């Protein structure tokens, strides 16, 4: 079974600085998808960024980018120019090709210090 590991239960960053959240995963599949979701106190999971495993180019979405290392099974999230609104739980998730359910890590709580 696939597993997702987030080794940083909590992280903090100064406003306007850059922070990187770590994620590793385990799979025997060659084709799959990786996601980062943000969960604010409202509880609603919001997609931040996604990466297709067959694409070598790292995904970027405005201030959010990933460092995808397929051989190392690593998928870290970099948040640049951190804003107070970025404070939330961040979950790394994995999905096989197809519409199989997402497998989530335990999350990283990000605090942004003004």
Which whole-number Å values give the CA distances from 106 to 6, 30, 60, 83, 109, in the listed order?
A: 6, 23, 23, 23, 10
User: Among residues 41 and 85, whose Cβ is nearest to another protein?
Assistant: 41
Tell me the β-bridge partners of 35.
50, 93
Considering the rule CB under 8 A, would residue 62 count as an interface residue with another protein?
Answer: no
Question: CA 5 from chain center: how many Å?
Answer: 11
Q: Which of residues 17-56 bind another protein (CB under 8 A)?
A: 33, 37, 42-47, 50, 52
- CA dist 92 and 107 (Å) reads 7
79 φ, ψ (degrees, to nearest 5): -110, 120
Considering the rule CB under 8 A, would residue 60 count as an interface residue with another protein?
Answer: no
Matching residue, tokens 């495993």: 53
Considering the rule CB under 8 A, would residue 95 count as an interface residue with another protein?
Answer: yes
| Smallest separation (angstroms) from another protein to the CB of 44 | 5
Considering the rule CB under 8 A, would residue 104 count as an interface residue with another protein?
Answer: yes
Considering the rule CB under 8 A, would residue 64 count as an interface residue with another protein?
Answer: no
Considering the rule CB under 8 A, would residue 70 count as an interface residue with another protein?
Answer: no
Q: Residues interacting with another protein, by CB under 8 A?
A: 4, 6, 33, 37, 42-47, 50, 52, 91, 93, 95, 97-107
């Amino acid at each position: 079974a696939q597993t997702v590991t987030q080794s940083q239960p909590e992280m903090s960053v100064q406003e306007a600085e850059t922070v990187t959240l770590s994620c590793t995963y385990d799979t025997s599949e060659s084709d799959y998808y990786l996601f980062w979701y943000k969960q604010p106190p409202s509880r609603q999971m919001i997609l931040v960024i996604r990466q297709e495993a067959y694409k070598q180019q790292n995904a970027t979405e405005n201030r959010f980018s990933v460092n995808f290392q397929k051989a190392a099974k690593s998928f870290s999230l970099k948040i640049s120019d951190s804003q107070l609104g970025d404070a939330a739980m961040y979950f790394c998730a994995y999905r096989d090709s197809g519409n199989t359910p997402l497998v989530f890590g335990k999350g990283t709580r990000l605090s942004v210090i003004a």
